[in-house]
Structure 1
């Protein structure tokens, strides 16, 4: 029987990386996404017992760095590309070229073959229609709209120190506007933010529950909550949506590289790509059709038309400085 663990206590249960027939996977995919994808992987590789640790991007990065002298995992899966290039994380990885990875454009793979990205996500607002009506507010379509006085205390956002979604929002706004204007805008926005929440999905859940008018979150969480019947709409910021790629990699210290490579091969299969398209608007594996529910929720069929051209290298290089500045201003 496969073992699926999604708890921060996982590392305490493991004294060494997994042996043959067992894989430990670290991921920042949302819990429901990761569970769905891993269930398919387990069906495709029934001889492997999977252990999974799911943490938000910042928390998982901190764990990987803390454990780098004795890594507890075999594979990194669905982890922010802007973070996996951190030298302290990248040095724990071993180059690997999965079977079929050549179908993925080079822009979504590292030059040294240490990681490749099969999925991604973009920033989006979850807007509670009922709360807007009660408060007499017009629906926001841009970051600029969220600066209006009437939104004071009605906005929640992810904390960029712990959330990859939160970080890519802040980073992309600074890239769009430049440092001076970007921080000035974030200062204004802070005046309207009721709280900064640890994960990228929870602001959408808070808005969906009617606690706030707007939850700055990401595309697929908005689409999923709309499909589940919550009274929200999705708005993609008209300035351009900050976005992130989600990368996979082989851990150099793994004691079970044969199965780790099998798993990474599976992540670029047609079966996996089909599963990604149920959950992700950005899928780098060619082919496939966007589900109608994505389009009904307001996502354009060509997502490239709404994405800000994120510089992932700059986002990675500037991460520590941006988070330190953000914390000094808003915590």
Structure 2
């Protein structure tokens, strides 16, 4: 009887211990669940160095939300989003070209949303619909990065216009981004077509192509290559040129007198997001003065008035140099333009 009683007592103690363990596990699970963060999948074409400041500032203000980035060039992000149209993954698109976001909107993929504080932003830098489908962050424009040391070695004159770049003296001396993969390359091509007219625009690119050594897959890389002297001239944008100048690279930034193609980095919410409230909080943050102050570290024109700072190498009349840009036209004609461009010049694209 003692043996049986001892067994029963041990079993009782074991059952109580198991119940305690189960209760503790349930409690721990409840705590973990309570502290689980909402994850936002954010597709972006931001430059690498810009991603961390936005993420850190947003997550500090919203500790219950975590940004998970998927980063690539503008063309690659745009293509990925279109390919996923029937099975979308992204919650938010941030730092993508306005021309690409306009294309997504034409496909019915973006949620109309006016973020908190939207009325404080410069209205022309966001989608014209009410409420907007995308909200601008900053303007980036075409810039020619010119390595004065390498140019002197090769006896190359300093260009002042787009037309100058077609001169035979620059044969093999120029590198520029491919419009297929790069938003900067696409704004170059569409601005030439809009500024010069369709026929003259393609004729201009025919002549320019004779002097282009290679079309690369990044908008910033041509300026980087000019900075290192691998090529004396890179068609790029002001962000990278300003940054390289600050690092001591022997480059001048040239803003061609015919005018500059440009686009907007912007934010849009995917209509299919499963986290709409968290996505709206991110859109609210990107429209805030705080986020625009982060943006102003690199860009001469930002959406929040009075926040932009004078950046070295960027002319005071920079906004006046931007050509008229029809985002809807660029979006609607994207496939046709890229198809023509690839037939004409795709043999020089970086492999």
Relative to the length of structure 1, the TM-score reads 0.89
Per the TM alignment, residue 20 of structure 1 is displaced from its structure 2 partner at its CA by 5.8
> Unaligned regions of 5+ residues in structure 2, if any?
1-35, 347-351
Residues 1-331 of structure 1 mapped to structure 2, 5 A cutoff: 21-87=38-104, 90-110=107-127, 111-112=129-130, 113-291=132-310, 294=311, 296-297=312-313, 299-331=314-346
Per the TM alignment, residue 150 of structure 1 is displaced from its structure 2 partner at its CA by 1.0
* Higher mean C-alpha deviation, range 191-200 or range 68-77: 68-77
Cα distance in 2 for partners of 1:306, 1:121 equals 12
Distance 1:237 1:62, change over 3 A: same
Pairwise CA RMSD = 1.6
Q: Which has the higher helix share?
A: 2
Per the TM alignment, residue 257 of structure 1 is displaced from its structure 2 partner at its CA by 1.4
Per the TM alignment, residue 46 of structure 1 is displaced from its structure 2 partner at its CA by 2.5
Is the contact between residue 80 and residue 244 of structure 1 (CA under 8 Å) also seen in structure 2?
Answer: yes
| CA offset digits 1:138-189 (Å, max 9, x no partner) | 1112111111111000000000011000000011011111111111110000
> Unaligned regions of 5+ residues in structure 1, if any?
1-18
Q: Which residue number corresponds to residue 12 of structure 1?
A: none
Is the contact between residue 61 and residue 89 of structure 1 (CA under 8 Å) also seen in structure 2?
Answer: no
> What SS does the corresponding residue of 1:117 show, helix, strand or coil?
strand
Per the TM alignment, residue 34 of structure 1 is displaced from its structure 2 partner at its CA by 2.3
Distance 1:273 1:205, change over 3 A: same
Cα distance in 2 for partners of 1:35, 1:153 equals 37
Is the contact between residue 20 and residue 259 of structure 1 (CA under 8 Å) also seen in structure 2?
Answer: no
Higher CA-based Rg: 2
| CA offset digits 1:207-265 (Å, max 9, x no partner) | 11100110000011100010011111111111100000122111122121111111110
> What SS does the corresponding residue of 1:62 show, helix, strand or coil?
helix
Is the contact between residue 46 and residue 96 of structure 2 (CA under 8 Å) also seen in structure 1?
Answer: yes
Per the TM alignment, residue 324 of structure 1 is displaced from its structure 2 partner at its CA by 0.7
| CA offset digits 1:114-136 (Å, max 9, x no partner) | 21112120000111111011011
Q: Which residue number corresponds to residue 10 of structure 1?
A: none
Relative to the length of structure 2, the TM-score reads 0.85
Cα distance in 2 for partners of 1:155, 1:96 equals 42
Cα distance in 2 for partners of 1:160, 1:85 equals 16
